[in-house]
Each structure stands twice: as C-alpha cells, then as structure tokens.
Structure 1
C-alpha cells in the first residue's frame, strides 16, 4: 500500500479573539479598568475619581465594549439613587490571563532587545 500524504488545510487566524485583543489594547483604559476591578474598585464614579485623565464618557464606552465582549458584567441595583457595579466574568478572567501572558511575552522581547 502506498504511503498517503496527508494534506493540511490553511490555518485561519482566530478572528473574534484577535479582534477582541486588538480592541481592548486599542482602548487605552481597559487595562486600567481591569486593575481597578482587581483592586476592588467596581463602581464607575469611583473609577473616574481614582484615575487622572479618565472621563465618565470614555469610561462608559470602555465598560460598554468590555460588557459586549463578555469580559465584564454590569450589575444594576434597584436603589435610589441608582447604583451600578461591574465585575469580571469567568470568561473575562481567562481573557485577562491571556493579556497577562502577552505582557510577559513583551517583557521578554524587550529584555532580548536590550541585550
């Protein structure tokens, strides 16, 4: 019997996840928001007060985008005045771990270039 060659089909890039990474890195505040959430700051007003240069409008756009991707979850409380909090989803934790690995990779690249 003749040895059959197995053909490999062209591998495509991960469209949705690559777009997510590009969008999140494109928003200069997303990584800061993740750090705030890790530090226990989960209310938008408190986020704005804790970060110089962050406006409510830009923060809301950033939070909306992260919520659409499923990285963050918006929790609305039925109170007066209204209260909203954000938390990282299980999927978001996975995504943030990948971003952390990309940061470590960049650190390695920077260290190699410095030598």
Structure 2
C-alpha cells in the first residue's frame, strides 16, 4: 500500500474583508463614528458638532464607504428640512466585534502577551 500524501492548498488572506478592515482603519474617523452611533448620535450634523476636527466632507466620505461595505445603513426622511440618519447594520455589529477583538489582540501585543 502506498502512503497517500495529503496535499494542502495554499491558504490566502480573505480579500474583501481585508480591504474592508484596511479601509476602516485607513479612515481615522470610522472608529469615532462607531462610538457616536453607539451613543445614539446618528445624524451627520450632530456628529460633526460632537467631534473636534471632523469636517462634513470627511464625515460624508467615511459614511459613504461604511455604507458601501454594508456596515452602516443610511435612512433619508422626506421632511423639511431634510433629515438623514445612520444606523449600524446586523453585519456591521458582527464586523465591529471583530474590530474589538483586533483591539484586544493589539493590547496583548503591546503588553508583551
């Protein structure tokens, strides 16, 4: 009987999720926006007023990216004046748990495991 060798396929990093994490961490405001949403601040104007240094242009770009990834959902209300709110999606909640785990891992690394 011949020994059958098992061939293990090369494992590659998950492409889409890696790009998502890279984009979120690349935008220095994403994590702050998640904190704002967790604290019930879900309107863009209110977000800008509550964070020093955050501009409307940068906020809108960050919100757009997070919405495209499915982390956030945008709700537009047909009112005068117009009202827009953002909420974390179910997927976004799972994604944020992963970010929390990455933060814990980084803390372990920083503290010498």
Relative to the length of structure 2, the TM-score reads: 0.97
In 2, distance between residues paired with 1:64 and 1:4?
Answer: 51
**Corresponding residue for 2:41?**
41
**Aligned runs of 1:22-37 on 2, under 5 Å?**
22-37=22-37
User: Which segments of structure 1 move beyond 2 Å, counting only runs of 4 or more?
Assistant: none
* 1:77 matched to 2:77: yes
What's the CA shift string for 1:67-110, capped at 9, x where partnerless?
A: 00000000011111100000000000010000000000000011
Structure 1: gaps spanning 5 or more residues: none
1:1-115 residue pairs with structure 2 within 5 A? 1-112=1-112
Post-superposition CA distance 1:23-82 (Å, at most 9, x none):
100000000000000000000000000000000000000000000000000001111110
The alpha carbon displacement at 1:12 in A equals 1.1
Matches of 2:10 and 2:17 in 1, distance apart? Answer: 18
TM-score by length of 1: 0.96
